[in-house]
Amino acid sequence: LSNNGIFLDRDGTIVVDKKYLRNINEIEFFPKTIKALKKMSDLGFLLFIVSNQSMVARNMSTEEEALTINDEIIRQLNDADIQIKETYLDFSHPKNPSYTRKPNVGFLEKAASDYNLTLKNSWVIGDKESDVIFGKRGNTKTVQINGSHKISHFSDYIANDLEEAYEIISKY
């Protein structure tokens, strides 16, 4: 039996983008995040977070600090009864990107294999064009969150927040 996944960008999609999130006290969920993620989960999708965290390669934080912040985000989501199946964090620098740095599809391929996902029935949601291209390269459907980045003409859909993204996905 195959599964379908929703791959969520973190900063600017699930939580407010604080440029480089380095302090757990700065974690701030968007108002509709929790409710929307619950509804997505109720549709039967496995939820994943995929995030580029180049602050490690930029020596602005250690891997351990970056993981501590992410663990706290996951803990707060768990407290709200939202299960993130797995978080994929890439720490590489944009000038020297690894195979898993979005828009490279390393993490999509790993998740598809580990969780038996059908990518064409899966979704990527993010606020940057790199999220959209990541989804397109991986043969998923894409929703771009209309935030502080330019809208990509590659995106299948555009939404103002995760609640609107849920509305789009629920129609499939």
123: left (phi over 0), alpha (psi -120 to 50) or beta: beta
Res. 114: pLDDT tops 90: yes
Is a pLDDT exceeding 80 seen at residue 1?
no
* Selected catalytic residue, list 11, 90, 127, 131: 11
d(CA 12, CA 149): 9
Nearest Cα residue to 33 out of 172, 154, 147: 147
How confident is the model over 10-39, as pLDDT tens digits?
Answer: 999 999 998 888 889 999 999 999 999 999
CA distance 27 to 25: 6
Active site residue 156: no
Contact, 12 vs 126, CB < 8 A?
yes
Q: Structure pTM? A: 0.96
What's the distance, CA 135 to chain centroid?
11
Mean pLDDT, to the nearest integer, of 106-128? 98
Signed CA dihedral, 28, 31, 34, 39: sign only: negative
CB neighbour burial string for 71-80, b if at least 16 within 10 angstroms, e if fewer: eebbebbeee
What is the residue whose two structure tokens read 């480089």? 20
Identify whether 11 is a catalytic site residue: yes
Chain segment 135-145, per-residue pLDDT in tens? 999 999 999 99
DSSP-assigned letter for residue 121: G
CA torsion, ordered 56, 145, 123, 99, to nearest 10 deg = -30
